[in-house]
Amino acid sequence: MFASVIVDVPSKSVNQVFDYRIPSGMQDIIKVGHRVVVPFGRRTIQGYVMNIKDTADFDPSKIKPISRTLDIEPVLTEEMIVIAKYLAEYYVDQYISVIETILPAALKANYKKIIRAAGDDGEAAQALRNLGISGDIETSRLTADQLSVLRPHFKSGELVEETVISQHTRKKTALGVYSLKVPEPNLGRAKKQIELLERIDMSSEPILLGTLQEEGYSNGMVNTLYKKGLIDKVDVEIERDPYSGRIFEYDKPKVLNGEQRRAYEEITQSMDEKSAETFLLHGITGSGKTEVYLQVIQKALNEGRTAIMLVPEIALTPQMVNRFKMRFGDDVAVLHSGLSPGEKYDEWRKIKEGRARVSVGARSSVFAPFENVGVIIIDEEHETTYKQSDRPMYHAAEVAKFRSRRHGCPLILGTATPSLETYARSEKGVYRRLELTERAGTKILPEIRIVDMSEQHRAGNTSVISTPLHEAITDRLEKGEQTVLLLNRRGYSNFQICQSCGHVPMCPNCDISLTYHKSNSSLLCHYCGYESRVTRQCDNCSSEDVTFRGTGTEKVEEILRDMFETDVVRMDNDTTRRKGMHEKLLNHFEKDEIPILLGTQMIAKGLDYPKVTLVGVLNADTMLNLPDFRANEKTFQLLTQVSGRAGRHELSGEVIFQTYNPTHYAIELATHNDYRNFYEKEMAFRRMARYSPFYFHVLFTVSSEDVRKCLGATSHIHETLAGAMSEQSIIVGPSPSPIERINRQHRFQILLKYKREPALLELLNELDAEYHEKYKKEGISLKIDVNPLVIM
């Protein structure tokens, strides 16, 4: 028997399966999806079995055998293998890259080379002992002098170098003990030892030493019983549960209102028919979409099926996880980047082993290894975080559609502000649209008003807090209610400037100004991470007349504390970088009743607190100025989403948008929560400018440290596309990317707009292969983004 194996080599030249012979002793063990160790050239590497067959395409005598397997059970299901092939082809990437994205990072191979003596008594073994080396040693730990001494023994074959393959993260274990059930143990009058032995005897499973210590038994007592042959020690696996010790009170299903009930019935009818139908659950903020999700999932579980729930950001996960844990308990596994590799690995294993039937997590949890999926849900489907920005640049919704078809289950796309592409498909009947137009219960949408900041400045108010917003915050403080403020810009000030010569400190690696962070007195690049200390003297003219311009969340936090003399919780990338900080800060805001929550867009979605009655957007124009055709859409979505945080319970809500563009339709229509009107206006612009959803897109981004190489490569790509595409397609560029240089790499881009190009996929693969080789030889990198969400 032979196995077709994808090897762990991230190279376009080996992006194919290789045949290996399955040794007779492994033929009943190795299955499709197993990780195996195989010889590849002069190396020994990890691979994945993609297929098993009886015959090979080459001379069987020349086919090398598989060395060993790394698992008892396969890590890849047959479904995941099919998905890996589909994504690699659709997004023009390598199989191994997609496979490593599908699997938890803990399973990624860890390679190290060791030196081993062929025998214990030869000259090589003695040479190792003379160097103070006992047993095996990693090659990398040997000095040049030691290698020189040992080199003759390599030539003679007495010393061999082997590759050892292990995975990054292993199962966590701790020492435990169990009783050997010795009849009539002789412990004399040692009452405490007798008590300890009885305690161990009573347990059907090994008991952790830590547990015994907590119960008052010392390690010395345990060791005494061990030495007397009454108990034995064993390594016990410990599951890394990020929610261990947490108690979740059961949350009863709510009574659905008329619109919720109709949505539930249409979705469950599709489940009964095992139809792979895609639903757009278009519900205004606070309309009870999550309760519909929960009850649909309960039906899937009742029928013995499983469910996948996606949320766009870690910030949304704590509250969503709480609701799911309160409803489904230990049936829920959580998968997102805020967990440690070990925690993610153990949550993934809970799914793989059938101990969890519901997954809640961000983008990559769409690959949860469930069998018999009953429903897939993507909450806030419009969010760009569902598209991966690095290779492989897949979109979670595409994977979800694929799995929906394979399992014959519905896919639910839920949002208050659908992407134009999704809503357009619902208009054409490709997706079935379900509308939730009322807030759950008796709650009404908050009152929204616009404050023109130009008028505020003319009236003498130059603060970042307008007079109406100041009055509204003061009113909430007096009532003991809470306020959420959004400013989608972190740091203290946007940039430092010399008022004598106009010099602005720039990142040496990127074409972007450095942002001032007051907390650590640094100037920081938000693209490459470059950091420098703040000086009060201009680097260009040595003037001391330097100042800071612009306002970020760090500065606004300081202003709010001084202005209102109250506590503020700030949530941005700086305050939530450490593990668990999202949940910690939100708990602080809710339980300690901190009056003001200030944050970037991570606070705009999913948060549901009864005392939040005021939402303020400090600069509603931020996203309008992005050089991206989706800027208007992103602005409308962000404003609508953050507005929905106010007045979600018994208290009525109010929202204030501060803007310099009060008449812009994205802002005006957001105040009326008028998605339909926005959709029609924006679609007219997209049709005229020939953008998605009227055209498909492919974005080519070339980067190199040499700007001339960038220009040459993009010119070549433009010529290649122009010669192969039809006249209906449009090629925009080559042109510099909006941020021309990032991390010392110059960046140029080309945008292809097309409706139907049958030969496009083959052309993309040819370009990808060509520039893969050019990257190795000349340092020119090509990134091909199919259906990009960000044109930056």
* Binding site listing for Zn(2+): 498, 501, 507, 510, 525, 528, 538, 541
Task: Give backbone dihedrals phi and psi of 714, rounded to 5 degrees, phi first.
Answer: -70, -35
- State the average pLDDT over residues 14-36: 88
Which tens digits make up the pLDDT trace of 471-527? 999 999 999 999 999 998 888 887 888 888 888 889 999 888 888 888 778 888 888
Query: Could you please report the per-residue DSSP string of 590-636?
Result: HHTT-SEEEESGGGSSS---TTEEEEEES-TTGGGGSSSTTHHHHHH
Measured between alpha carbons, how far is 502 from 504 in angstroms, rounded to an integer? 6
Model pLDDT, residue 496: 87
Q: What is the pLDDT of the chain when averaged over all its residues?
A: 87
* Longest Cα–Cα distance in the chain: 97
| Per-residue burial over 588-598, b = 16 or more CB atoms within 10 Å of its CB, e = otherwise | ebbeeebbbbb
Model pLDDT, residue 697: 95
From the list 671, 654, 655, the residue with the least C-alpha distance to 663 is: 671
Higher pLDDT, 158 or 715: 715
Asked if 258-436 and 447-490+552-685 have one fold, the answer is yes
Residue 181: pLDDT band with limits 50, 70, 90 = confident
- Within a 10 A sphere around the Cβ of 83, how many other Cβ atoms? 23
Contact 570, 598 (CB under 8 A): yes
Measured between alpha carbons, how far is 205 from 112 in angstroms, rounded to an integer? 36
Model pLDDT, residue 279: 97
Higher pLDDT, 691 or 605: 691
Residue 367: pLDDT band with limits 50, 70, 90 = very high
Least confident interval from 162-166, 360-364, 570-574 = 162-166
Measured between alpha carbons, how far is 649 from 545 in angstroms, rounded to an integer? 51
| Per-residue burial over 291-312, b = 16 or more CB atoms within 10 Å of its CB, e = otherwise | bbbbbbbebbbeeebbbbbbbb
Model pLDDT, residue 266: 95
Q: Which segment, 205-219, 457-471, 595-609, is predicted with the most confidence on average?
A: 457-471
Q: Which segment, 166-175, 254-263, 587-596, 639-648, is predicted with the most confidence on average?
A: 254-263
Fold of 258-436: Rossmann fold (3.40.50)
Q: E strand or H helix at 126, and its extent?
A: helix 123-130
Contact 596, 482 (CB under 8 A): yes
Of all residues in the chain, what percent carry a pLDDT higher than 90? 40
Least confident interval from 163-172, 226-235, 281-290, 611-620 = 163-172
CATH architecture of 172-238: Orthogonal Bundle (1.10)
User: Which two three-digit tokens encode residue 333?
Assistant: 């596994």
Query: Could you please report the per-residue DSSP string of 410-472?
Result: -EEEEESS--HHHHHHHHTTSSEEEEE-S-STT--PPEEEEEEHHHHHHTT--SSS-HHHHHH
pLDDT at 650 over 80: no
Which tens digits make up the pLDDT trace of 519-577? 778 888 888 888 888 888 888 888 888 888 888 888 899 999 999 999 999 988 888 87
Q: What CATH code is assigned to 696-786?
A: 3.30.70.360
Cβ neighbours for 118, distance < 8 A, ≥ 6 positions apart = 124, 157, 158, 159, 160
- Within a 10 A sphere around the Cβ of 406, how many other Cβ atoms? 13
pLDDT at 112 over 70: no
Measured between alpha carbons, how far is 47 from 37 in angstroms, rounded to an integer? 6
> Rounded to the nearest 10 degrees, what angle do helices 191-202 and 219-227 cross at?
80
Domain boundaries, the chain: 111-167, 172-238, 258-436, 447-490+552-685, 492-551, 696-786
CATH architecture of 447-490+552-685: 3-Layer(aba) Sandwich (3.40)
Least confident interval from 226-235, 393-402, 429-438 = 226-235
Contact 163, 111 (CB under 8 A): yes
The CA-atom distances, in angstroms, between 338 and each of 175, 316, 317, 344 are: 28, 11, 9, 9
Higher pLDDT, 387 or 319: 387
pLDDT at 108 over 60: yes
Cβ neighbours for 458, distance < 8 A, ≥ 6 positions apart = none
Residue 220: pLDDT band with limits 50, 70, 90 = confident
**Beta strand pairing call for 447-452 and 432-436:** unpaired
Which amino acid does the sequence have at 300? A
Model pLDDT, residue 691: 93
Rg over alpha carbons for the chain, rounded to the nearest Å, is: 31
Higher pLDDT, 618 or 578: 618
Task: Give backbone dihedrals phi and psi of 777, rounded to 5 degrees, phi first.
Answer: -90, -40
Model pLDDT, residue 560: 93
* Binding site listing: 498, 501, 507, 510, 525, 528, 538, 541
Model pLDDT, residue 787: 92
pLDDT at 49 over 70: yes
pLDDT at 111 over 70: no
Which tens digits make up the pLDDT trace of 628-647? 889 999 999 999 988 888 88
Which tens digits make up the pLDDT trace of 757-783? 998 999 998 999 888 888 878 889 999
Query: Could you please report the per-residue DSSP string of 96-113?
Result: HHHHHHHS-GGGSEEEEE
pLDDT at 402 over 90: yes
- State the average pLDDT over residues 418-423: 96
The CA-atom distances, in angstroms, between 266 and each of 23, 261, 281, 411 are: 53, 9, 11, 12
- State the average pLDDT over residues 286-300: 92
Model pLDDT, residue 772: 85
pLDDT at 6 over 70: yes
